[in-house]
Amino acid sequence: MNSRSTKTLSSKDERILNALGTELLSTSAQADVSRVQALLNGHAPAWFQDQTTGWGALHFAIAGDVDELGNSPGDVAISLNDQECYELIRDAGLRSEFTLHAIQSKTSLTALRAEDSTPAGSTDEFLKSKLVYRTDENGQEVVVIDIGGEEVGVMMGWEKPISE
């Protein structure tokens, strides 16, 4: 199992990451694919989220890929009975959410594991996990799973019909 420790960023590094992240979101919203690629190649933080909306670069990519009938790429894959494609889309979304949680976690978790057999790192383990439905401090219905004694949010209540 490989792990990397994290170090505290200087305020200058934080400002640079914030500027790159903000530019990445702006460029993603404009669907400028070549500039997005250049920013990512230049180490713009792919995990960066807008503080007001919570949107990251992938939100803009997916929002731009919904067709005129409102179907997402996952919807299209399922309608074509393309299970492999659907699973690729689903797994990428799961990895994204768990990665964002790990980055934003207030616990002592400081590194992502290269090999992870917990529900956070294994789709099979995630699908075996017991989902807990509860209402959060803002009155929103959320769905969480337990990973090492910590509740990890995996879905909002309004997404429940999508997963059924």
In three-state secondary structure terms, 25 is helix
Q: Report the pLDDT value the prediction gives residue 134, as an integer from 0 to 100.
A: 86
| Overall average pLDDT of the 111-140 stretch | 75
Query: Which has more pLDDT, 71 or 64?
Result: 71
Q: Report the pLDDT value the prediction gives residue 128, as an integer from 0 to 100.
A: 83
Question: Within a domain: residue 23?
Answer: yes
* Overall domain count for the chain: 1
Question: Within a domain: residue 65?
Answer: no
What share of the chain in percent tops pLDDT 90?
Answer: 5
Going by C-alpha positions, the residue among 161, 75, 152, 142 that lies closest to residue 121 is 152
* pTM for the predicted model, two decimal places: 0.40
Question: Within a domain: residue 46?
Answer: yes
Q: Report the pLDDT value the prediction gives residue 23, as an integer from 0 to 100.
A: 92
Per-residue tokens: 158: 């309004």
Question: Within a domain: residue 32?
Answer: yes
Question: Within a domain: residue 68?
Answer: no
Mean pLDDT highest for which of 10-14, 51-55, 105-109, 119-123?
10-14
Question: Within a domain: residue 140?
Answer: no
In this structure, the dihedral spanned by the alpha carbons of residues 132, 135, 140 and 142, taken in order and rounded to 10 degrees, is -10
What share of the chain in percent tops pLDDT 70?
Answer: 76
Q: Which domain holds residue 23?
A: 9-57
Query: Which has more pLDDT, 97 or 1?
Result: 97
Query: Which has more pLDDT, 113 or 18?
Result: 18
Per-residue tokens: 29: 């919203």
Question: Within a domain: residue 24?
Answer: yes
Predicted confidence (pLDDT) at residue 81 exceeds the cutoff of 90: yes
Reported as a pLDDT band with limits 50, 70 and 90, residue 114 is low
Predicted confidence (pLDDT) at residue 32 exceeds the cutoff of 80: yes
Q: Report the pLDDT value the prediction gives residue 109, as an integer from 0 to 100.
A: 45
Reported as a pLDDT band with limits 50, 70 and 90, residue 100 is low
Phi, psi of 78, deg, nearest 5 = -65, -40
Question: Within a domain: residue 26?
Answer: yes
